[in-house]
Every structure is written in C-alpha cells, then in structure tokens.
Structure 1
C-alpha cells in the first residue's frame, strides 16, 4: 500500500444569471476563506435564471471543505452571471496522508491475495458496504473454548451491513474446513454450486446518554451542535450507514476519555460530565460492555445545560 495523496474537495455550485447564457468549464469562484473552486463542466443558465454545475477545489487540502453558502464570489469576469453559491457543503478535501496515519492503515491491512486469517476476514468485512465495525474471534484448538466457540471455528461480530453482504465477505476469506459460529446467518452458493450457511453475530447496540451541565464557554465556542457532534463522533452514531464507527465492539466507555472530545472543542472552559445507559441513572464512572455489545449515541442523547 502507498501513502494517500492530497485530495481536492468537490461539490455543486448554483449559478444565477441571465437565462440562456453559457458558463464554460473552468469558471472560477471563491469562498469566504479565500479558497478557489473551478467548474468542471460547460453549463447553460436555464429559463429560471439558475443552473447547477459540479465544482472542484483549485488546490488539494482540507481547506476546500467549506460550509454551505460559503462560496459567494465570482473570480472569472462574466457579465451574464449575477451571483454564485453552494447549496451544500463541499467535501472530500484532505491533506497528504501522514506517516502516522499510513502506519495505522498499514497495520490494519493484510495481503488480500492469500489472506485467510482473522485479520484478513476483518479487513474484508470493514470494506463491505455499510459495515461500521467488526471483530473476528477464532478457536484453533480441538476443544470448545471459554467463549463457547466450537473447535476449529471462527465467529465474526459485525455492526452494520446486510446479512448477505456480511456472509459473502466472511466466505470470501475464511479457510476451507473452518466452521462459522454466531446467532445470525445467511445462505449463499459457492463456486461449486453448493448452498452454504455462513454464521456470524450482531452486537447489541447500547445507547449512551451524555449530560454536560454547568457548561462555561468563551467567545470562541462554536455552539452546542458542534459539541454534540464531537461526542457522537467519539462514541459512535446510531445507524449503520456511517463513515466513522466510534468506539469498537465490546470497548468500554471510559468516563475520563470521554472528556477528551469535550475538552478539544474550541471555547469550552468548564463543565460537569455524567453518563448513563438509560437517561435516568447518571454516573461519573466507566460503562463496561460485554464482547457482544457496542456503544452508540445520537445528538438527542447528548444534553447540554448551563
């Protein structure tokens, strides 16, 4: 694998102007943070006086990820264009991958061509559509182990993804003759036309309620929504179609570590933190999960008061 190169942000631009006027590819606009964007296609302003066209940041980097409405300046002179804006935020811009990020990705990767160990199976699962998190256990002994795994078997615990896609990913990487265990299953045909039953398990989602009270902030505080988003990103959001998984399956919700995303939010000065699994019994202590549970939360479960 190689270092990921810097990438340019992309999005859509809405151009308002004279109906019937042409706006050629390469038309330059600028956001409030001075980042420039270029249109990627020729366009003709419609009868309603507007047209939407795809754009890309002029330079690679995260600075190209701007909020909706941030692009408002025309750089290329064109009399027919009255105004420009981006109805939705641009996304996809990133800096060149750091060596630390590369090392972490490297150690999580495997040689897919011949990989059939638990790391290879987990890597295949994590690349499966809508899979948020996965762990794979194995018992390579001749007896049932303490976790209840059958001899010479594997058990994948998978959060997200359809049953069929999960089963397909496991079957693609598991070694021949190895049993699959779990409380969920899906059937699929192998290359020889035989119907196989692939078993795996689904973790139980444990909702985590977070109460931030007596919050003190300064002028740099961006707002409660930003603070809530930081907490949700750290724990992991409810649902399966996610880019980020938050805490891993079976990982304890450490009370002290949860302070990190709060402390790192700009403008936060002081607060009292409490957590709960039901929104009623609050505590200032860790929430320990079993190996078949995963912590999740959502903005409505993060309560902020002053």
Structure 2
C-alpha cells in the first residue's frame, strides 16, 4: 500500500521534495543514472517547477479529505458537515441598548435614527417612536456593527438630528452582541449537542436553551430523587436558570428537551410560568427561574506611568465589565481575578485601593459569593476608577 494519499492513519500528502525525489528517480531509471538533475541544471529547474505545481494538487486533495470530517473541516466546509446532523453555526449578532430620547412632547422619531457613543460606535433605532407627554421616550437601539460593541452608560451624540429631539442617553450599559461563532467553539457545541441528543440530559436541555434567541446564560439542575432536595427542587424535577430570551420561547425549548413525565420547577420570587402547547394540541405548564442579577460596585485607585492612555480609566472599566460578561449563575466574584484584570491596562504601575461590594459606595475587599440562582451584574456605570500619575 502506498504511504501517500489515503492511508490507514488518514490522508498523507506528498511534499515538494517527495514529488521531486519521484521525478528524479524516474528520470534516472529512464535516461541513465548519470543524468544531471541538480538544482542548478536546466532539467533540475524544470523538475522543481513541476514538483511545486503537483504539490499544490496534493494540498487541494488534502483539503478536500479534511473537509469531510468535523474535527478538521473549517469555515464553510465545517458548516456543511455540521448541517448533516442538524447543527448550524451561531451567527454574529448586534449589541443593543435602551436609549432615553428627550425632547418636545409629540415629536416623531422614525426608525433608523442614529446615535453614537464616546468611542464613536454607532447605534440605530429599531422602530419608530414618539416623544411622550413627559418629554421622553425609551427606544431600543442596535449597533451598526456586529459583535460585542461597547455601549457604556452615558450621554450619547445624536447623529441624525430631528427637530424637537434634544438629547439621548442610555442609563445602562449595552447588552453585548456576539461575533460569528468560531470553528473551535462550533465544533465543541456540535459535540455537546450530539452527545446529548435524544437523551434529555442536563447538557442536552442546556444546549437547547442556549440556542434560543437572545438567551445569554442557562444552567440546568435536576432532582432525580423521590424527596425535595436541598435546593428545594421537587421530586423528579428539573430547574432551568436562564437570563435573556423570550419567556415563551425559553419555556418551549425547555418543554421540548426535557424527558416525558419530568416536571419543571421555577424558584420564587423569580419563577416564570408559561403554557406550552404540544403537537397534539395539549397544553402544558412549564416553569423556570430567571437568574437573579446581583449588582456589583467597584472602586479602583491606581498609580499610573506615562504609558497610561488618555482613555485608561474607561479602559479599566471596560475590562472589568467584559470580565463580568463571562460569569455564569453561581460564579463568585473573586477579588484577585478582577485585580489582575486592572493590570492588563497599559501603564498601570500599582493598585493602591480596590473595593468591591453589593452596595454603593463599595467598601469591601472580600470575594462576593453568588448563589446558584444568582448572576453577578457588572456595569461600567457602577465602577469608579481614580488614576494618579507617578
């Protein structure tokens, strides 16, 4: 069996040198062993050109072979392989925020009005609105660019002026969108879905919940016993703790993925109850829990060098807020982890004071425990940074 091409261990492509060796060996067999095939000879140079061209063909064959398998396929080829098992790559989404538009009562604001942040990131309104009698109206805006576009709580700049519309501001940070799912993340999610598919496992249920539009985090717990457990889950029940997403869509995903005969549980006071109708027209009550978001406040004081950028204070806030986006239900806020993030900003020489707390102004220094039904909510508006040149 040839040691190149499809072998028992996979596809092995010939290199330029492998091809060149074959060509030279054939020439010496046909024309005599004393023929000059050196790299500086005319024949040797021709051989080199041909070998390079043939090596490209081997690379194409290797790429085609690898595109057949999810572990090695990339980009569109990976999309095609995953589609065979009904899994699609998560698309890029836009960041969003609620903007309070202030102005003369009765002023109409058409859709696609544009505001910009201090970083010149542009957001557009999704729907038409009219400024109310109190002189304000809240409107949902989305970023023009896809992905996690910063939108810290601040006064915004109106880029598409309208007579009667005087100012715009977002009281809370934008909810981050996401980049197009990477090949590595897509492969991992596909494996998790296939491993859980049809088994009604916790991972299967969680994967289905995370696939619901706008769901940010999802965690699933079960009580397989015949008595109420320590988390107050009833016997033979599952509890989904979810942030983001439409209530009915979340409930439907939970109903469709759980095992028959297993009840769903929502923990007060953040329990949600929805009615889901199955394919036979039968209504079912589905319960789940909305994660309780715990607001975390920070005060950070740093000594900085001349390398510290003009935007350094905001950079520290953004970095801490970005860390918060990685925390899930039950993830404690670890003081040392956040402190290390502060030093990721160029020019930070020393951290002279660091407080974190669930009340404002913060005075604590210890880690903040987060229970299984809670999620740390870290917003730049709740982070104070004081920098002092040294």
Q: Kindly provide the CA deviation profile for residues 29-60 of structure 1, in whole angstroms up to 9, marking residues without a partner as x.
A: xxxxxxxxxxxxxxxxxxxxxxxxxxxxxxxx
1:111 CA displacement: 3.6
The separation in 2 between residues aligned to 1:114 and 1:193, in whole angstroms, is 22
Q: SS at the partner of 1:201?
A: strand
The separation in 1 between residues aligned to 2:285 and 2:214, in whole angstroms, is 21
1:226 paired to 2:315: yes
1:291 paired to 2:380: no
Q: SS at the partner of 1:283?
A: coil
1:247 paired to 2:327: yes
**Equivalent residue for 1:136?**
220
**Equivalent residue for 2:283?**
195
The separation in 1 between residues aligned to 2:306 and 2:190, in whole angstroms, is 40
Unmatched runs of 5 consecutive residues or more in structure 1: 10-64, 66-90, 237-245
Please give the residue correspondences for 1:32-47 in structure 2 after superposition, counting only pairs within 5 Å.
Answer: none
1:293 CA displacement: 0.9
1:212 paired to 2:300: yes
Distance 1:4 1:138, change over 3 A: farther
Asked if the contact 1:108/1:123 (under 8 Å) is kept, the reply is yes
Aligned mate of 1:162, from 237, 243, 246: 246
Query: What is the TM-score with the length of structure 2 in the denominator?
Result: 0.50
Unmatched runs of 5 consecutive residues or more in structure 2: 1-69, 77-91, 93-148, 150-177
1:225 CA displacement: 2.2
Asked if the contact 2:274/2:285 (under 8 Å) is kept, the reply is yes
**Equivalent residue for 1:275?**
356
1:257 paired to 2:345: no
**Equivalent residue for 2:231?**
147
Asked if the contact 1:3/1:102 (under 8 Å) is kept, the reply is no
The separation in 2 between residues aligned to 1:225 and 1:3, in whole angstroms, is 40
Asked if the contact 1:116/1:175 (under 8 Å) is kept, the reply is yes
Distance 1:196 1:186, change over 3 A: same
Asked if the contact 2:313/2:386 (under 8 Å) is kept, the reply is no
1:281 CA displacement: 4.0
The separation in 1 between residues aligned to 2:372 and 2:277, in whole angstroms, is 30
Asked if the contact 1:124/1:169 (under 8 Å) is kept, the reply is yes
1:214 CA displacement: 3.3
The separation in 1 between residues aligned to 2:386 and 2:226, in whole angstroms, is 56
Q: Kindly provide the CA deviation profile for residues 144-193 of structure 1, in whole angstroms up to 9, marking residues without a partner as x.
A: 11111111110001111111111011012101110001021111110110
1:6 CA displacement: 6.2
The separation in 1 between residues aligned to 2:303 and 2:73, in whole angstroms, is 39
1:114 CA displacement: 1.5
Aligned mate of 1:181, from 259, 265, 276: 265
Q: SS at the partner of 1:285?
A: coil
1:196 CA displacement: 0.9
Higher relative contact order (CA closer than 8 Å, sequence separation 6+) = 1
Q: SS at the partner of 2:287?
A: strand
1:209 CA displacement: 0.8
Higher Rg: 2
What is the count of residue pairs matched by the alignment? 216
The separation in 2 between residues aligned to 1:118 and 1:190, in whole angstroms, is 21
Determine which structure has the larger helix proportion and give its number.
Answer: 2
